[in-house]
Chain A
C-alpha cells in the first residue's frame, strides 16, 4: 500500500473534497436552526434561510423608507471607498519609503529606527487621537487604515529591496548607472510585484481597522451596519454582511493575484 503522504487526489476528487466542508457547515447550520425553531418559532440566533432572503431583499433591493437609498449598496460603496483609499495611500508611502531606505544606506540609517519605533505603536491605541486630530469624518477612518498597515509595508519592502542580489547592483554600476537610474530601472520594477504580495498580506489587517473605525464612529458602512443591528440581535442581517465582507476580501485578493500575474509574468515564472 502506498504511504499516505504519496497519495494524491485527482482533480475531481480534490474539488469534491474541497467543497465538502462548506456543505457540512451549511447543513450543520440548517439543522441547528431547525432545532431551535421547533423549540421557539421566534428564535433570533439562528435565522432560517428564508429570513436571510427577506433581510437581503429589504436592505439590498428595496429603497430605505427613511432616506430612499439602498442601504446595502451604500454601505458597500462607502466601506470600499475608505478601504481602497487607505490601502492606496499606505501602498504609496510604503513603496517610496521602503525603496529609499533599502536602496540608500544613509537614508536607511536615518529613518529605520524611527520607523521601527512607530511600527510598535498599537494602531487602535491612537484611534482616539486620530478622531481628535482628524475629526469624526472620513479622514480619520482612512488614517486608521494608513497608520495600521503602512509600517508593515515599509519594513517589508525595505527587506525586499535589500534581498535583491548585490550582483545586480554591481552589474548596473558597471553599465554606468547612477543611483537614481539604478533605483528607477533596477530596484523599482522588481519591487512592484513584491508590493502586491505585501498588499495581499495586509488587506486582512486593513479590513480589521476599517470595521473597528466604522463600529466606533460612522453613519454608514458595512462595519457600522453590523454593529448597529447587533442591538436588535438581527442575525439575519449580520451573517449575510459577514459573508459579503468575506466575499469582497476574496475578490480583492484574487484581483491582486491576477494583476500581478498579468503585469509581472517574469516574477511568477522565476519563483
Chain B
C-alpha cells in the first residue's frame, strides 16, 4: 500500500499503431491540485479519461489508493465536463439529490417520503456551498453557464469522491465568471481537502489554480510517422516557484498564441489569495 492517492508506472495508451501517451510516471498525494496543459491532441484529455475510467491504459500500471484503477466510472472519481454535466429534466436540487437516491434505492433509483426529504436537505447543503441555493427549484436551462458548472460541482461533491476531475470546466465561460469560478474551486478545494485534476487550455489558469502544473508534449518526433511516439509529461512544476523564463519556454513549447500575459501578476494574485 503506497501512500500516494494516484500513481502511474510506465503507463502507455495506444489505439492500435497510434500511440497517444507513453512512459507516464507520476505520483500524486491526497490534497494536491494538479493542472494539466498542452497543445490540442497532446493526450491530456486521454489522461483524464484514464483517471475517470472511460478509457483504460494499454500498458503499465495505474493505481488509485494503491489498487488497480477500475476501468469504469465509479463514485471514487467525480467529474465535471465542459458541457452536458447536468441532467436537463431535473431541477437543481433534484440534480444533486439524485446521487443520494441512487444510493438509497438500488432498484428504481427513486426515494419517497421522509428519505426523499433527507436527500433533498443534503442537496441543499451542497447547493449552499457552491452558492446556488437561491436557484434550487430552477431547471438547468434557466441557469447561466457558470451556474450550470456550479451545479455540476455540487453534484460531484455530494458523493465525497477521492479525486475530482475537471475537464476544461470553465473553457466556455466569460472571463469575469471564470474568475468567480476559480475562487469557488480554490475555496472548496481547501475546505474539503479535495484532490483535483484539471485539464485546461489556459496556461494562466493552470498557474493560478494548481499546486502542480503538468505539461503534456511529445519528446520524440518521427516526421515520417507522426503517431509513432506518444506524449508524456514533459514538465512537472510545483507552482509558485516558477520564474518568468521557464514560463516563456513552456509557452513557446506549447505554441500557445495567447495575448501577452504577465505571469508574475498571476502568481502574485495567487499568493495574495493564499495568504
A interface residues with partner B (beta carbon < 8 Å): 165, 167-168, 170-178, 180-182, 184-186, 189-190, 264-267, 269-270
Contacts and interface: CB of A to CB of B under 8 A. Distances in A.
A120 to B, nearest CB: 34
Contact of A269 (B75, B79, B109, B139): B139
B107 A180 contact: yes
Where chain B touches its partner, the secondary structure class is loop
Where chain A touches its partner, the secondary structure class is helix
B139 A176 contact: no
A189 B87 CA distance: 10
Given A173-B72, A174-B161, A176-B99, A168 B139 contact: no
Contacts of A269: 139, 141-142
Given A176-B159, A269-B139, A170 B108 contact: no
A185 to B, nearest CB: 4
Given A175-B102, A175-B155, A180-B107, A266 B89 contact: yes
A267 B89 contact: yes
Given A174-B161, A181-B108, A167 B88 contact: no
A176 B109 CA distance: 10
Contacts of A181: 102, 105-109
15 contacts: A174-B73, A174-B74, A174-B77, A174-B159, A175-B155, A175-B158, A176-B103, A176-B159, A181-B102, A181-B107, A181-B109, A184-B110, A185-B98, A186-B87, A270-B140
Contacts of A180: 107-109
B119 to A, nearest CB: 12
B88 A190 contact: yes
Interface string B83-111: 11111110000000011011101111110
Give 9 nearest A-B pairs by CB, closest first: A181-B109, A173-B73, A165-B84, A167-B84, A175-B99, A270-B141, A185-B109, A176-B75, A266-B139
Given A173-B74, A174-B74, A269-B141, A184 B87 contact: no
B89 A189 contact: yes
Contacts of A174: 52, 73-75, 77-79, 156, 159, 161
Interface of B: 52, 54, 72-75, 77-79, 81, 83-89, 98-99, 101-103, 105-110, 139-142, 152, 155-156, 158-159, 161
A53 B107 CA distance: 60
Nearest to A177: B102
Contacts of A173: 72-74
B168 to A, nearest CB: 12
Given A170-B52, A184-B110, A264-B89, A175 B98 contact: yes
